[in-house]
Amino acid sequence: MVDKRLWREARTVRFLLALTVGLGLGAGLLAVVQAGYLARVVNRVFLEGQDLSGVWLLLLALLGVIIFRAVLAWVSEVMAFRVAARIKYDLRQRLLEHLLALGPVYVRGEHSGELVNLLVEGVEAVETYFARYLPQLALAALVPLAILGFAFPIDLTAGLILFFTAPLIPLFMYLIGGWAQTLTLQQWETLSRMSAHFLDVLQGLTTLKIFGQSKAQARVMAWISDRFRKTSLGVLRVAFLSALVLEFLATISTALVAVTVALRLVYARIPFEEALFLLLLAPEFYLPLRLLGTHFHAGMAGASAAGRIFEILETPLPQKRSCGEVHLAPGAGLHVAFEGVYYTYSDKEHPALEDVSFDLAPGERVALVGPSGAGKSTVASLLLRFIEPQGGRITVNGVPLDRIPAEQWRRYVALVPQHPYLFYGSIAENIRLGRPEASLDEVMAAAKRAGAHSFIQGLPRGYDTPVGEGGIRLSGGQAQLLAIARAFLKNAPLLVLDEATAALDPATEELIHQALESLMAGRTVLVIAHRLATVYRAHRILVLHGGRVVERGQHEELLKRQGVYHRLVSAYGGVQ
Ligand code: ADP
């Protein structure tokens, strides 16, 4: 199955692959010519007693063949790696594009450590498949056939021995192959699990330390590494065993040719030159088959990684049901309506949202509240179009959302997430994500409105200070302010705000609060609220519970109902 898909990949570079195989075949044929010249030189010098003047032309030709063979081998090696590089580049590109198209909901569901491992190590393992295994597969069939073409006319017996012993090597490889494949697959899975776990531990180190679990985690890591070591050794054991068997078969078969040829030489049934030629050809005959055996395991590792790569590439993208695209009139206020929306995550049985209906009028501020797992983030993901409703529909000014191109829609929505991500780059570049074509003045104006300007000016290089991985570390509050500045710069009419839960110092809290208030003014806002102050100020509150809107209204009337909202607010200590 995987092999079939890998072959399909190979078709995209078939010209380069054919060239690689052609060069390899050329090098194989030159080996025959080389053996022929060598046999002739030895024959002339030792049996016919000629001196250097009789063979120097032959020796020169021999040297020429050797050099030519080396050049062919070099070029075919370069070609093979070019093939692999092209495929690797292409696979990485497609994987990244597909992951981006699948969106944050899919990536969050997966282990990001595993994905990183796949993008780096996995794609790298595919290289051996294309650079080594695949060309060798063709050469293992072609070169021995070509050599047989020389051997048969010279000597039928030797030809027959070669002909019947050759299939033994692929046969044994096939027998060992199934076993090896299970093992390499296991090895690949353990490696992926290890990377995923390692990233988890690194990201959650603070939590682990606080709860005194870092030692226990170290033990788990040790256990996983040990498993990886064991599976790797298992793979190596099979690889060595199969190499031994293949070498053994090749040696025995060569010896068989040597003995039969030597016996006939003793009884003068075959001329010396031909006997020596056959003897020199025998190892060249088995060489491509033996090499196939050695590359087989590396190829297997590539195929195992490829299995997972294709699995991701074949994950269907969120369906687009667009039938005739509609563009929103610029500058119009946005009226968003959820009408009986259903959504179930592919790996879950219960729907995350069931029959959810609500309106967002232009300029309105709606707070989504509910216990964790109620479906608040799912509503936000639907609004941002990371996922599409599976039932019901979302409309904007009466137009179904799926008829508006996603790129265009996203220009109308700004998101201030709970944990804003800062990419490696300067502060200005990070704010500019809101609107990439913005000038520095506009970036600064947005930062001023977000209340971030003063702390940015206090940084060593101001707006040019590098942040993100490898740059300076900003506090959680400062990152929030940058995210708000991004949203100001984007100036979208609809704002999705996922409120931060982490407690900040009162001064920063106040700064963020003011920045958010001025950001929300005049915009339609959907806020996933975690603070009572935000909830009090919302025009309307939607209470989600188990994927359904269970209560809706304003703070006072909801409190009076003594329902889910009342319990939530009591838990926050808002009412006694
Ligand atoms: P909230 O934001 O209110 O905490 P969510 O919208 O994140 O709730 O989750 C609603 C339900 O959907 C939960 O049962 C959660 O386990 C599930 N869920 C959320 N995200 C994913 C995901 N990426 N894959 C699978 N299930 C998910």
Three-class SS of 124-185: HHHHHHHHHHHHHHHHHHHHHHHHHHHHHHHCHHHHHHHHHHCCHHHHHHHHHHHHHHHHHH
Q: What is the pLDDT of residues 185-232, one digit of tens each?
A: 888 888 888 888 888 788 777 777 788 777 888 888 888 889 889 988
Asked whether the whole model's pTM tops 0.75, one would answer no
| C-alpha–C-alpha distance, residues 394 and 356, integer Å | 10
Take residue 158 and report the two structure tokens written for it. Answer: 């030797």
Report which protein residue has its CA nearest ligand 1's atom 15: 373
* 409-to-316, 327, 330, 382, 384 alpha-carbon distances in Å: 22, 9, 11, 12, 8
Q: What is the pLDDT of residues 463-490, one digit of tens each?
A: 888 887 666 778 888 888 899 999 999 8
Q: What is the pLDDT of residues 551-560, one digit of tens each?
A: 888 888 888 8
- Looking from the CA of residue 347, the nearest atom of ligand 1 is 25
Residues 76 and 142 sit within 8 Å (Cβ to Cβ) = no
Question: Which residue intervals of 336-405 are DSSP H helices?
Answer: 376-383
Amino acid symbol at 98: H
Q: Count CB neighbours of 563 within 10 A.
A: 14
Is the dihedral angle over the CA atoms 283, 284, 285, 291 positive or is it negative?
Answer: positive
- How many DSSP H helices and E strands does the chain contain? 21, 12
Q: What is the pLDDT of residues 166-184, one digit of tens each?
A: 888 888 888 887 788 888 8
Q: How far is the CA of 352 from the centre of ligand 1 (A)?
A: 6
Residue whose token pair is 């509503």? 379
Residues 529 and 353 sit within 8 Å (Cβ to Cβ) = no
Q: Which residues line ligand 1 (CB under 6 A)?
A: 105, 108-109, 345, 347-348, 352, 370, 372-378
**Domains of the chain: which residue ranges?**
2-6+14-313, 336-571
- At 109 the pLDDT is 60
- Looking from the CA of residue 368, the nearest atom of ligand 1 is 3
* Ligand 1 pocket mutation, candidates 345, 387, 530, criterion most atoms within 8 A of CB: 345
Q: What is the pLDDT of residues 423-433, one digit of tens each?
A: 888 888 889 88
Nearest alpha-carbon partner for 310 in 126, 130, 100, 84: 126
The pLDDT confidence band at residue 576, using thresholds 50, 70 and 90, is very low
* Ligand 1 pocket mutation, candidates 106, 111, 315, 377, criterion most atoms within 8 A of CB: 377
Take residue 264 and report the two structure tokens written for it. Answer: 């006939």
Report which protein residue has its CA nearest ligand 1's atom 10: 375
Nearest alpha-carbon partner for 143 in 164, 166, 127: 166
| C-alpha–C-alpha distance, residues 197 and 112, integer Å | 10
Q: How far is the CA of 107 from the centre of ligand 1 (A)?
A: 13
- Looking from the CA of residue 109, the nearest atom of ligand 1 is 23
Phi and psi, residue 439, nearest 5°: -80, 170
Q: What is the pLDDT of residues 125-137, one digit of tens each?
A: 888 888 888 889 8
Residues whose CB falls within 8 Å of the CB of residue 275, separated by 6 or more in sequence, listed in order: 261, 262, 264, 265
The winner for highest mean pLDDT among 6-20, 57-71, 101-115, 447-461 is 57-71
- At 41 the pLDDT is 92
Residues 481 and 452 sit within 8 Å (Cβ to Cβ) = yes
- Percent of the chain, pLDDT > 70? 95
Query: What's the CATH class of domain 336-571?
Result: alpha beta
The CATH fold of domain 2-6+14-313: ABC transporter transmembrane region fold (1.20.1560)
